[in-house]
Amino acid sequence: MPPRSWDIFCTVIDNYGDIGVAWRLARRLARDHGLEVRLWVDDLSSFARIAPGLDPALERQRLAGIDIRHWPQQDFPADAIPGEAVVEAFGCRLPDSFEAAMAALPAQPAWINLEYLSAEDWTRGCHLLPSPHPRLPLTKHFFFPGFDEHSGGLICEDGLIAARQAWQADEAQQLAYWRSRGLPPPAEGELRVSLFAYENPSAAALLQAWADGPQAVRCLVPAGKVLADVEKVFGRTLVAGDHASLGRLAVHILPLSGQDDYDRLLWGCDFNFVRGEDSLVRAQWAARPMAWHIYPQDDQAHLAKLRAFLDLYCRDLPPEAAAAARALNLCWNWHGDIAAAWRDAAPWLPAWRRHASNWQQALLQPGDLVARLLHFIGDIG
């Protein structure tokens, strides 16, 4: 039997990626496995943007069957009894008093450090490694999400793929969704693109290329950091609810929404630009061509991480299509002619779309992240 009670700790760093993963993990454990989950979050205001119904003013509340607690940086509740499994998301440091409470339990909890997603080779050697506590009788294990059977896999809810396939085959559901977001249905020959990114110097050049291009492009931009780059193209301030047009390009600014709603945005688009970790994973389940804006690092370490992902992601694409997909992703994350990269990639979108469907199926063959995590916890007792 898996641990019945879970504590998940998350500090919000990039606004949506960290808490996005932690929230999906909590929902997966509670909804699909019937487990009792307590989620500790230090920034409830950011959390509320992706979890409709969450009240950031409350120290404690229940949402989607999950006990949500504000994680104070001082005066952590002394009476908090640890669950049978404890997950620290992305190496956040647990409160000292909570670690002491874990050590005082008759049976040691399964303690997991859920690491950042990466396809780099070194993560395979670190995945599942134990890390004994320097003072207390506790052992933490590293768990690395990833894209192959030697990693921890990716979070995918029960029935998600079937629900996505049914939605993409149901025109009425799609039209209802577009209406709910205040958007027109796709026009004949239109390319519908979602654009969720950090600040990106290449964004304005890409939008201009679409405006000057041969195909009508409708770009859907969830309000966020890339919005300043979008505004440069139109020369005015844009906020959620606004739309603007230039040449063959139409842009709509969308308010941030809940995770399920964002999933449907990805499902409904022909191409998805995603950022960070959570939206990257959800783009895989959408089975659509995509480009990843990886979180930039000063020492350019993010480019090695991006290339490692592309080595796996592009492996089964036709060689010319693989080269075009790699070039587009690298230009999006580094210096390069993004307009030319898009022109080279566009003819390969049909082949890329077929590949995205096959790739998604291969990712799930060894089981999703939660299935692998529960299996591992069973192994270590």
**Cα(356)–Cα(317) distance, integer angstroms:** 9
Instruction: Give the 3-state secondary structure of the chain.
Output: CCCCEEEEEECCCCCCHHHHHHHHHHHHHHHHHCCEEEEEECCHHHHHHHCCCCCCCCCEEEECCEEEEECCCCCCCCCCCCCCEEEEECCCCCCHHHHHHHHHCCCCCEEEEECCCCCCHHHHHHCCCEEECCCCCCEEEEECCCCCCCCCCCCCCCCHHHHHHHHHCCHHHHHHHHHHCCCCCCCCCCEEEEECCCCCCHHHHHHHHHHHCCCCEEEEEECCCCHHHHHHHHCCCCCCCCEEEECCEEEEEECCCCHHHHHHHHHHCCEEEEECCHHHHHHHHHCCCEEEECCCCCCCHHHHHHHHHHHHHCCCCCHHHHHHHHHHHHHHHCCCCHHHHHHHHHHHHHHHHHHHHHHHHHHHCCCCHHHHHHHHHHHHC
pLDDT tens track for 260-270: 999 999 999 99
β-pair partners for 141 = 112, 130
Q: Give which of 147, 166, 181, 157 is closest to 267, Cα–Cα.
A: 166
Write b or e for each residue in 234-259: b if 16 or more Cβ atoms lie within 10 A of its Cβ, otherwise e: beeebeeebbbeeebbbbbbbebbeb
Cα radius of gyration (the chain): 21
What angle do the packed helices 278-286 and 259-268 form, to 10 degrees?
50
- CA pair distance 305, 309, nearest whole angstrom: 6
Residue 86 has a CB neighbour count (10 Å cut-off) of 25
Tokens of 61: 């509340």
Bridge partner residues of 5 (DSSP): 36
Which residue ranges in the chain fall short of pLDDT 50? none
> Cα(317)–Cα(352) distance, rounded to whole angstroms?
7
Calpha distance 175→268 (Å, rounded): 10
Q: Which pLDDT score is estimated for 15? A: 58
Q: What's the pLDDT at 377?
A: 97
For residue 31, the model assigns a pLDDT of 97
For domain 5-153+366-380, the CATH class is alpha beta
User: Any bridge partners for residue 321, and if so which?
Assistant: none
In the chain, residues under CATH classification 3.40.50.2000 are 160-364
Alpha-carbon distance 136 to 264, whole Å?
Answer: 45
Catalytic residue among 84, 231, 242, 277: 277
Given the residues 7, 18, 88, 229, the one annotated as active site = 18
The angle subtended at Cα 186 by Cα 183 and Cα 187, nearest 5°, is: 120
pLDDT at site 91: 87
- CATH number for the domain formed by residue range(s) 160-364: 3.40.50.2000
Let me know: does 300 contact 324? Beta carbons within 8 Å: no
- β-bridge mates for residue 66, sequence order: 63
278 is catalytic: no
Distance of CA 376 to the CA centre of its chain: 23
| Confidence (pTM) | 0.95
Give the pLDDT of residue 80.
95
Q: Is 158 a catalytic residue?
A: no
Angle between helices 319-333 and 301-313 (to 10 degrees): 160
